[in-house]
Amino acid sequence: MGKLNVKNGTPVGTSHLCKSCSWGQFMTGYRESDLLVICTNSNPNIAVPFPVFDCSEFNDKNRPDWEQMKKLAIDVDPTRVSSRTRGFNAVTTIQPLRRTGADHDDQDEEAAEA
């Protein structure tokens, strides 16, 4: 038989979400079965007996906090290098559009007759 995919089924894999959470305390032994995970966000702290796939209080410890982001940020001052930018000229006065050619003369004559 072929491989059967089921939407929203049991997730495949055994990696703990707690490994990258700042609230998790993760202890491993020499064997694969020697594993202890403790969630320090709950009161009292609890041992987690299974690999966690999703957690409502997950806090990624690899993501910088607000103070670290402020320290890494570059300050950009909104200063203008020149008073005018080439290719972009602002129109300061509005002038009426002047028509030229035979169309203009014909329309004037029709307006005078009416």
Residue 87 DSSP class: T
Please indicate, yes or no, if residue 80 is contained in any of the structural domains.
no
Please indicate, yes or no, if residue 101 is contained in any of the structural domains.
no
Please indicate, yes or no, if residue 28 is contained in any of the structural domains.
yes
Please indicate, yes or no, if residue 8 is contained in any of the structural domains.
no
pLDDT of residue 5: 72
The verdict on pTM exceeding 0.85 is no
Please indicate, yes or no, if residue 91 is contained in any of the structural domains.
no
Q: Where are the alpha helices (DSSP H) in 1-114?
A: 66-72, 102-113
Buried b (16+ CB within 10 A) or exposed e, 11-35: eeeeebbbeebebbeeeeeeeeeee
pLDDT of residue 29: 83
pLDDT of residue 32: 76
Please indicate, yes or no, if residue 102 is contained in any of the structural domains.
no
Number of domains in the chain: 1
Please indicate, yes or no, if residue 49 is contained in any of the structural domains.
yes
pLDDT of residue 67: 92
Residue ranges, the chain, pLDDT below 50? none
Contact of 25 with 37, CB cutoff 8 Å: yes
Please indicate, yes or no, if residue 96 is contained in any of the structural domains.
no
Which range of residues forms the domain containing residue 45?
Answer: 13-53+62-73
Contact of 16 with 51, CB cutoff 8 Å: yes
